[in-house]
């Protein structure tokens, strides 16, 4: 089983909850009502995206997103495939 780690950005949503962006994966996004739910949704999103790339025989992108730690609400999420 291979582990992949990607930087995600948690952005508070105007209507409540959080929007989760994954810059290294073409900016895919999801959302959750709480930060914990947003993290789970982010993991599911990354896993589904990577599984699709693998099924299509496409390369898995590296996480090359760089930002100052205090600039954004960042966290690394890990998925195993």
Q: What distance lies between CA 43 and its chain's CA centroid?
A: 6
Where in the sequence is the domain holding 21, given as residue range(s)?
3-80
> What's the pLDDT at 81?
86
| Domains: count for the chain | 1
Output the CA torsion sign for 32, 35, 37, 42: positive
> What's the pLDDT at 10?
93
CATH of the domain at 23: 3.30.160.250
| pLDDT per position as a tens digit, 56-72 | 999 999 998 877 656 56
Within the chain, which residues score under 70 in pLDDT? 68-72
> What's the pLDDT at 71?
59
**Where are any strands of DSSP class E within 1-81?**
3-12, 18-22, 28-32, 74-80
Q: How far apart are CA 11 and CA 2, in angstroms?
A: 28
């Amino acid at each position: 089983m291979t582990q992949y780690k990607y930087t995600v950005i948690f952005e508070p949503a105007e209507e409540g909850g959080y929007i989760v962006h994954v810059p290294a994966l073409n900016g895919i996004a999801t959302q959750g009502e709480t930060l914990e739910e947003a993290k789970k949704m982010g993991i599911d999103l990354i896993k589904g995206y990577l599984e699709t790339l693998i099924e299509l025989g496409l390369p898995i992108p590296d996480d090359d997103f760089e930002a100052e730690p205090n600039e954004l609400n960042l966290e690394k999420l890990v998925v195993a495939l």
